[in-house]
Amino acid sequence: IVLPATDTTGVHAFLSWDDGPTNPTRTITLSQRTTLTAEYEKGVSCPSLSIWNGTDYIYLADVSNHGWLGYINYITDDPDWPIVYWRNNPWDYVPVEENHLQLRNGYYNMLLTQKWNEIFYLDSVHMVVVDHPSDVNVYSTMVEQYLDPDYMGKIYSVSKNPLLPVLAINEKGENVLPQISEIDNSFTPGINGLTSSSWDTISWNTLTMDLGVLSSYEEIKLVVRGIVDWGTPEEYSLWLDKFFAQPVPNGTQITPAPFMEVKDSEGNWIRVPESRQFPIPPDGVPRTFVVDLTDLFPSDDYSLRINNFWNVTFDYIGVDVSSREDISIKTIYPYANIYQLFESGSMASGDFTRYGDVTELVASEDDKFVIGKQGDEVSLMFPAADLVPPGEGMERDFFVFVALWFKDEAGNWGYGFDFAVDPLPFMEMSGFPYPLTSESYPFDEDHLQYLNEYNTRDITK
């Protein structure tokens, strides 16, 4: 069976078969009536990560939602260009179930595929191998550009049987405790702020919980399984129009960040510090992650309110009060190679990374990117020769830590820049796009050598 790599528009790429394989070409042996369903992309997201499971590559997740370039922060009264952009954060911490990941000739193999019509800038990727006591689970925290780095990408041990909130209601006053009490793909109902009537009457997606009596515990963590639905590019464009149809106050945020609130000693809702706020979960595939609430409650009232502009919904929220266990963490860097998987009608242009070995480019976060477009794929081979089996009473979990920026074309979420490689993002930029008169990619000797050696695949419109 051979299916096209994209639909007839050339924009929406083949994603996977309903039984997991991600190659649009496959061979099957028929002994009975068989139905196979192929899924094609419905919009634009970010590069797709697949892992070798012993027989085929299976889709795991789209990575680095937070590395999207062009996220608008707020509006100013500057008549020339009133938009201020977020810097965002390129890191993602993707959990991998051990039973889905199998060795192949001594390596754990993965593929990072640009199926969507986007430009990606892969800066760094490595595997994190975590050995932990078998009576606990381990999960990572998430990432946001405003969070304290001490709370991003940290691996926590948590109880396999966390407590449950004693109350959970949404913004409509509906009881949603049944939806968050177990992992069963039954999600809380949600709303998207993009559908709000105006910029000053936002319809917030709100979850209010009573976490119970927790005053005797030193550590309080949420174990969250959630997902975000960004809506459509058309809804986003209509929402942006509302900020330019009439004057808005200086500093008005276009898509406000999520925020948590707790109650003070008088019962008033107060925001927790910005550096400890709630992250936006990924889209596409639900993710389980940890949110550390330790020392955030100013009183013995353990009420918590989570507010989201975007359509964030929850399958499960547990309350972990266990002390952290000793865990062993090992980091493995891959051999990496970029090549063309399929041809694309993408109009992306610029100096892309030449095909071939790019191992040294993904070894550290240093603004030396593997730059690709729709149809490109990066193979990642993580050597396992130095791994020894977990000790007695221990289990092993895997995570993929990846730093990656990406952009899409104007009118399809992209706003305020051309669909081209330049200008390049960089770690210290204030936002993207950044003011070219005062900020620049680091064109020092080291980075110029990188640009001249690797980014020689010139593609013009």
> Could you read off the pLDDT of 345-397 as tens digits, one per residue?
899 999 999 999 999 999 999 999 999 999 999 999 999 999 999 999 999 99
For residue 202, being part of any structural domain is answered with no
For residue 188, being part of any structural domain is answered with no
| Mean pLDDT score, 232-236 | 86
For residue 156, being part of any structural domain is answered with no
Number of domains in the chain: 1
| Mean pLDDT score, 57-73 | 91
pLDDT value of residue 413: 73
pLDDT value of residue 130: 97
- Cα separation, 143 vs 127, whole angstroms: 17
For residue 12, being part of any structural domain is answered with yes
For residue 253, being part of any structural domain is answered with no
Residues of the domain holding 4: 1-130+330-461
Q: What is the pTM of this model?
A: 0.88
For residue 362, being part of any structural domain is answered with yes
Label residue 192 by pLDDT band (50, 70, 90).
very high
Residue 82, pLDDT above cutoff 90: no
Phi and psi at 31, nearest 5°, equal -125, -10
pLDDT tens for 87-123 read 889 999 999 977 789 999 999 999 999 998 999 999 9
For residue 278, being part of any structural domain is answered with no
**Cα–chain-centroid distance for residue 69?**
13
| Mean pLDDT score, 241-267 | 91
For residue 204, being part of any structural domain is answered with no
Residue 215, pLDDT above cutoff 80: yes
